[in-house]
Amino acid sequence: MNLDKYLDVAPEIRAALAAGKPVVALESTILSHGMPYPQNLAFAARVEQVIRDEGAVPATMAIIDGRMKAGLTGAELERMCKAEGVAKVSRRDLPILLAEGGTGATTVASTMILASLAGVRIFATGGIGGVHRGAQETMDISADLQELAHTPVAVVCAGAKMILDIGLTLEYLETMGVPVLGLDTDDFPSFYCRKSGFGVDYNAKTPADAARVAKTKWDLGLIGGLLIGNPVPEEYAMDFDEMTAVIDRALAAARDAGVRGKDTTPFLLAHIVEYTGGRSLATNIELACHNARMAARIAVEYAKL
Ligand code: PSU
Ligand code: MN
């Protein structure tokens, strides 16, 4: 298939990939549906600069006017951040949005798809979707997990939020054969906090260690990606007990409001920001920039292998 029919790769990214230089994918749902405007716009520019400062090229992914984009212009980033008429696009939504010429922000799952199509192997995000608490009844399990099982991209995240059942999320990844690494940690992080109480499969002490595991997985022809947990820097971490209470309150609000399906995660994120008086947003921004920095270092090491 000729991908040019659907996909635009920005010239700088195309050149970097052709030369074997490091490129890091970024998602756009974190902008459109994960953070308020205009803080998301400042974040979008900063996170791209963090990647450049490490010697890699950022590739923010989105669907714009029916085309898949790897690499956005300033005006396109602004459009994603204003989020007017911007859908949340996961794997199932992708063909619909392209066929109807729509505009949407890509989740972890669909960003992995775009990255893989463009040839980008390393991706930085904030937190991934996973098995929701109460999934035994709702069957709400993010498509992000299936994507990690199928698509060859290494996702650097600050773990999973406690809006999810972290234990079940890790069980699911084990079943799907997805390696879960920690960057210099034995404990899978829980987004706002450095620990979750659940272990990782491998403590990658350095970005080079993580790059080597990814390279080995793909050399072996094992399908799918990897999940790399990178704890929030100590100075931005939030109190575990406080966040447990805040998240319980947000979950109760979602239940009372009857929120379901793809609206659940954005609803919970917005309420957590509200209940913490914006402190959680500052932490979210810092941890996502830290993930971008480490993802860029992994991409630099991966490019040498
Ligand atoms: N978790 C966060 N911030 C986010 C998301 C998750 O802490 O912005 C977004 C990501 O784009 C992720 C998506 O892929 O939500 C998961 O949504 P769902 O649970 O509907 O699959
Ligand atoms: Mn869901």
Encoded tokens for 134: 């109460």
Whole-number pLDDT of residue 173: 98
Q: How many CB atoms lie within 10 A of CB 162?
A: 22
106 lines ligand 1 (CB under 6 A): no
Residue 136 class from Cβ within 10 Å (0-12 exposed, 13-18 middle, 19+ buried)? exposed
Atom of ligand 1 nearest to the CA of 90: 21
30 CA from centroid of ligand 1 (Å): 7
Whole-number pLDDT of residue 3: 86
Is residue 207 reached through a cis peptide bond, with omega within 30 degrees of 0 on the bond before it?
no
47 CA from centroid of ligand 2 (Å): 26
Whole-number pLDDT of residue 4: 87
Q: Around 263, how many Cα atoms within 13 Å sit in the side-chain half-sphere? A: 7
140 lines ligand 1 (CB under 6 A): no
Q: Which residues contact 262 (CB under 8 A, 6 or more apart)?
A: 88, 90
Q: How far is residue 268's CA from residue 71's CA, in Å, rounded to a whole number?
A: 28
100 is catalytic: no
The 3-state DSSP class for residue 122 equals: strand
Query: Is the pTM here over 0.75, yes or no?
Result: yes
Q: How far is residue 216's CA from residue 102's CA, in Å, rounded to a whole number?
A: 38
Whole-number pLDDT of residue 256: 96
Residue 161 class from Cβ within 10 Å (0-12 exposed, 13-18 middle, 19+ buried)? buried
- Which residue's alpha carbon is nearest to atom 8 within ligand 1? 30
Which one-letter DSSP state was computed for residue 151? Answer: S
Whole-number pLDDT of residue 305: 97
78 is catalytic: no
List, as one string, the DSSP characters of 185-220: -SB--BTTBS--S-B-SEEE-SHHHHHHHHHHHHHT
Q: Which residue has 């009844």 as its token pair?
A: 137
88 CA from centroid of ligand 2 (Å): 11
The 3-state DSSP class for residue 116 equals: helix
156, containing H or E segment: strand 154-157
pLDDT in tens, the chain (305 residues): 678 899 999 999 999 999 999 999 999 999 999 999 999 999 999 999 999 999 999 999 999 999 999 999 999 999 999 999 999 999 999 999 999 999 999 999 999 999 999 999 999 999 999 999 999 999 999 999 999 999 999 999 999 998 999 999 999 999 999 999 999 999 999 999 999 999 999 999 999 999 999 999 999 999 999 999 999 999 999 999 999 999 999 999 999 999 999 999 999 999 999 999 999 999 999 999 999 999 999 999 999 99
Q: How many CB atoms lie within 10 A of CB 115?
A: 28
